[in-house]
Structure 1
Amino acid sequence: MLEALDLDAVQQQVYEALVDGAVTTAELRDGLGLSVTRVRGALGSLEELGLIQRVAGRRRGPDRFLPVEPDVALAALLAAREEELQRARRHVHHLAARFRAAADARDPLDVVEVVVGRAAVMQRVDQLQRGARHLVRGVDRPPYVNSDPDRHDARTGMMPLQGETMRRGVAYRVLYDAEGLATFHSTHTDILACAELGEEARVLTSAPTKMLLADEQTGILPLRTTHYEVASCVVVHASGLLDALSSFFEVLWAQALPLSDFLADDEGDGDGPGLPCDDTRLLALLATGLTDQVMARQLGVSHRTFQRRLRATMERLGVTTRFQLGMVAARLDIGGGVVQPEADRVAP
């Protein structure tokens, strides 16, 4: 835990052993299983840092080492590191101001940057998210450049970088394409995990392109794609073109349907009077315009079970067609009040 103070593993072991009561080189060697050379090296560096003090041994006995009270010694190191970080932060702000000033005089050809190769594209996508300060907006659709399993949390399926970015206060608004929900994402894992961190999620039946925007400074969209992955991308810096992409995203956002009702807490009692939470989630999912097969997958049930659950919901609400079901959803203000018809009546 003390790596931030530039203490290596051996220094930490030795210091903590001294805090716990060890006082001589021999005790440290035996207790930690380290060589005398490594123990002495760690003691010397800790002494230079002011974390320990040496007491001469009595009657030619071995020297004893006593730790300086951690609240005092480590607080001094923390204060020094915080001052270094403040200086670095001020310099970063200075560099950012210089960059923006230079951008105003930038050659128009520098507004657009072409990146080729999957690894390079992944790197730029990561850089965009790490550089975001307020808002990341994205249009999510296949193919996926970040589809490697080792780039996703094994439990939730979400990308750790997005989680880190959201935890430092950056908001996310993401439009999910229906095909991506059908083939790649799961509302029970990655999308739900993102929603719990505050991501606003909506769904489009057919998104026109992939896109990622960070604040009003940078945007990325694919240049060419293969069937399986993004092979190249265009990075757009602050400009009229980026403003147009931002406006385009807002138009798509206004047309999309929210996933918030479907992602609501299962422990709730539903949004309508006497309406169970399962029914609320089903109505919200119907509003997305996904096919019945895809909705069944997102609910984790078979197509037949989905049809049976849909029939039961319609019976509880006293309707016989999906149009009537949409009227109920509108009255209860679920999923934007729209139920997309795959078929007017549910198959028997």
Structure 2
Amino acid sequence: MDDVRAKAQELYRIALDDASWRPELVTVERGWTDPEFADVLRLLNRLGLFVPSPETRNGWTALAPDTALRNLLLEEEQHTGALLSAVQQTRAALAQVVTDFQPVHARELSSVQMEVVTGAANVSAALEDASQRVEREVLSLHPGRALPAEMVEAGLERDRLALGRGVQIRTIHLGSAAAVPHMTAYLRRLNTAGAQVRTAHTLPLRLIVVDRSLAIVPAPEPVDGDIAAVVLRGETLVGVLRGIFEHCWAAASVLGEAGTAASTAAPEGEGGWQPTGRHRELLRMLEGGLTDETMARKLGVSERTVRRLVSELTERLGAASRFQAGVCAVRLGWLDD
């Protein structure tokens, strides 16, 4: 770098003495290489001492140091002015965002509310409040085992009152729960009262949706060891949960006249025994590596029932293990649906 500075001082003196200096003569007389000469020109130009000039043979004009300094300061002022202008524009844009658009976003956020309700009594109160407020529809998913008869009767009375007000009710229960005698009777009476009832072999979560704007789901974990539910308000978020319900509804079975699923029997096909929907769900869960406990919870049955169903499958398929049963089921196309 020191060598470039020294050469730059030398070329600057030459240019001040003779404005018509010729680059090729300078490099030859002083033994500079082309890259060295180029480095010298870049340094003088960066310092403002050499400025391009189409009127000279060498293409450059040498300026006095004070002129070069003044030009550098002016250029820096222009750059700083542009930067300040950009900062001012950014500040103005930020102010507009805060003034014009933040309130819109705040209103959108305020439309989505979440409340955690803790304790069986408080959860029941939230459900009762929702049943009193409903105006158009109630959608519900009920995984797990059958509820006690007294709880079912209380729920039936609330549903009848809502149906009497013209509320549409659609509900899906596990097929295993619907097969319990008091649940069979309850679902039959609910269906007769005007509700639409379907059954499924598995359901993703317990869910109640009220009028497209309110949903109640179980809390992911108990709060301080007590039962808890999450009450959600807001059409956007509740709309997502409603979509989950509609997906389950499309795949569920219509309740038959006897109060059970319309198609739970296993028909005999050309190849002999065919699996029921519950068997198919069990095969999918076996394929996913779920434990007996998890499968029992999802099907709403006991682990003993799960083991019996698995035994039925392996026996019917002539398989020696669960894994082999899954392979056979895939080969037969039982999991294609």
Common topology (TM > 0.5):
no
Bigger relative contact order, structure 1 or 2, given CA contacts below 8 A and separation 6+? 2
Q: Is the helix fraction higher in 1 or 2?
A: 2
When normalised by structure 1's length, the TM-score is 0.43
When normalised by structure 2's length, the TM-score is 0.44
